[in-house]
Amino acid sequence: MSAPRFTGSFTQQLPIPDDAIAAAVAVMRSGRLHRYNVIPGETSEVARLEEAFARWQGARYCLALASGGQALQIALRAVGVVAGEAVLTNAFTLAPVPGAIAAVGARPVLVETTDDLVIDLDDLAAKAAGSGARVLLLSHMRGHIGDMERLSALARAAGLVVVEDCAHTMGARWNGRRSGSHGIAACFSTQTYKHLNSGEGGLLTSDDAGLMARAVLLSGSYMLYERHGAAPAPEIFEGIRLDVPNMSARMDNVRAAMLLPQLARIEASLQAWNERHDRIAARLATHPAIRLPARPPQEHYVGSSIQFRVPNLPARAALDVPRAAAERGVELKWFGAAEPAGFTSAHRNWCYVAPHELPQTDRVLATLFDMRIPLTFSLADCDLIATHILAALDETLPAGSLSPEAAMVESC
């Protein structure tokens, strides 16, 4: 008997906890939604969130913003990126990352990805030297973390300032250090499909007082920076406070109130995501045509999504895999598509970026599939989803496309 069709939703997140709803309602009843609209002696919900997230992340400073994309843009401006400047970033990422570079008037220089979906450090070294770039906006795309010791050494040697995009790695670690602690600044997202959910929102962390002072002013502090709890001392702002433009990118108190109770529970959520990810990954790994990205022992990931490749799948068959999965109720995304689909796009779709020759990235994306794993899925759901992915692949994989020799190579 065939497995029943999966009927769950790949866009349904867990409900906002009752205490988070109550906190948000209390803010709305107060009428004081703006982060600086406080009575004497009161600490705003946004300032409380900044203090709590800085403690959890192990960072000296934190700034809450309107979105993860705003966090990226403000971080780039705060490190001094100017119009026309070359900025390095991953070729395999989501559109807001090169979009942030373009939004500040800079030129994205895209770096190849490896088969394990992390930035290619050899290509990074070559492009750092060839482009004259002084900043790397490093995207830990889909939660995959590269060799951070080697990358940090390369950045020091090349004189690169590293800003980390941690939208998919909130809570992840490399060799025991939290993702976001290797560069000068880290940018996080609290958009609905991330590890904390406020609909939209962003967090920027750093240990650099000068950078964070510029970031606070850029966010639109109206000279009220003394009302921040996780910001530099007031004297750090004095020499720059009239020179930095106001970009009005603040988070409001309603979203901060929703996020604080979620942050208190985040470790349990991270564990639950990995249980689901690993359950699906273990099943997919049994198929000889599938290649899962390698996870080195130094990487403690957060599996809120899963990626796999089918290296020997012909291009003409690649579209059939998501279609066959969809017939079974499973929503797969394919990064090899010619046109962007929802949140999924590739470098050839970003017309605001100069065309790049990226043969290695194109080869990887051509057979790369991606799936979101909401915490609304049970472990039994994950078993059923894996069953359907394997069946969809068997249905669409052309006969003989995976030779015994190829299977041996791909399993190594």
DSSP letters, 191-250, are: STTSSS-SSS-EEEEES-HHHHHHHHHHHH-TT-GGG-SSS--HHHHHTTTTTSPP---B
The answer on 250 and 281 residing in a single domain is no
Quote the pLDDT of residue 122: 98
Regarding whether 235 and 273 lie in a shared domain, the answer is no
pTM of the model: 0.95
Q: Is residue 4 part of a domain?
A: no
CATH code, domain carrying 117: 3.40.640.10
Whether 79 shows a pLDDT value over 90: the answer reads yes
**Residue 341: is its pLDDT beyond 90?**
no
Query: Is the residue at 143 inside a domain?
Result: yes
260, 377: one domain: no
Q: Could you tell me if 34 and 69 lie in one domain?
A: yes
**Per-residue confidence (pLDDT) for residue 1, from 0 to 100:** 43
Give the pair of three-digit tokens for residue 128: 């750092």
Is 215 a domain residue? yes
CB 346 within 8 A of CB 355: no
220, 312: one domain: no
Cα separation of 362 and 386, whole Å?
26
In a domain, 221, yes or no: yes
Question: Percentage of the chain with pLDDT > 70?
Answer: 96
Q: What is the pLDDT of residue 407?
A: 39
User: Taking 50 as the threshold, does the pLDDT of residue 411 lie above it?
Assistant: no
Condensed to tens digits (0 to 9), the pLDDT of residues 320-337 reads 999 999 999 999 999 998
Q: Are 17 and 261 in contact (CB under 8 A)?
A: yes
Each residue of 234-290: pLDDT tens digit? 999 999 999 999 999 999 999 999 999 999 999 999 999 999 999 999 999 999 999
Nearest in space to 311 (alpha carbons), one of 247, 360, 348: 360
Is 2 a member of any domain? no
Q: Please compute the mean of the pLDDT values over residues 368-397 and round it to a whole number.
A: 97
DSSP 102: H
CATH number at residue 376: 3.90.1150.10
119 DSSP assignment: B
Among 264, 294, 322, give the residue marking a domain's end. 264
Is pLDDT above 70 for 106?
yes
Task: Answer whether 329's CB lies under 8 Å from 8's CB.
Answer: yes
Per residue in 206-230, pLDDT tens?
999 999 999 999 999 999 999 998 9
The pLDDT value given to residue 97: 98
Asked if residue 405 has pLDDT above 70, the reply is no
The rounded distance, in Å, linking the Cα atoms of 112 and 295 is 19
Question: How many CA atoms within 13 Å lie on the side-chain side of 164?
Answer: 29
Q: Residue length, the chain? A: 412
Instruction: Report residue 409's pLDDT band, with 50, 70 and 90 as the boundaries.
Output: very low
403 pLDDT higher than 50: no
Report yes or no on 11 lying in a domain. Answer: no
Overall number of domains in the chain: 2
Query: Has residue 245 been placed in a domain?
Result: yes
Name the burial class of residue 73, with classes exposed (0-12), middle (13-18) and buried (19+) by CB atoms within 10 angstroms of its CB. Answer: buried
341 and 285 in a common domain: yes
Residue 141 lies in a domain: yes
Rounded Cα distance, 62 and 56, in Å: 11
pLDDT per residue over 15-73, tens digit each?
A: 999 999 999 999 999 999 999 999 999 999 999 999 999 999 999 999 999 999 999 99
Q: Give pLDDT, residue 397.
A: 87
Q: State the Cα–Cα distance between residues 408 and 412, nearest whole angstrom.
A: 7
> Which structural domain range is residue 80 located in?
18-264
Across 89-104, average pLDDT: 98
**Do 259 and 276 share a structural domain?**
no
Domain boundary among 249, 264, 279: 264
In this structure, the answer to whether residues 370 and 400 fall within a common structural domain is yes
Question: In terms of domains, do 252 and 389 share one?
Answer: no
pLDDT over threshold 90, residue 340: no
Query: How far is residue 215's CA from residue 241's CA, in Å, rounded to a whole number?
Result: 11
Condensed to tens digits (0 to 9), the pLDDT of residues 387-397 reads 999 999 999 98
Q: Is the pLDDT of residue 133 over 80?
A: yes
Q: Which of 264, 290, 324 is the last residue of a domain?
A: 264
Confidence category of residue 400, pLDDT binned at 50, 70, 90: low
**Of the candidates 343, 272, 279, which has an alpha carbon nearest to the alpha carbon of residue 306?**
279
Kindly state whether residues 260 and 270 are assigned to the same domain. Answer: no
Residue-averaged pLDDT of the chain:
95
Please tell me the predicted confidence (pLDDT) of residue 404.
39
Q: Give yes or no: residues 161 and 185 share one domain.
A: yes
SS3 308: strand
- Domain co-membership, 316 together with 222: no
pLDDT at 401: 60
CB burial readout 112-138, b (16+ within 10 A) else e? bbbebbbbbbebbbebbeeeebbbbbb
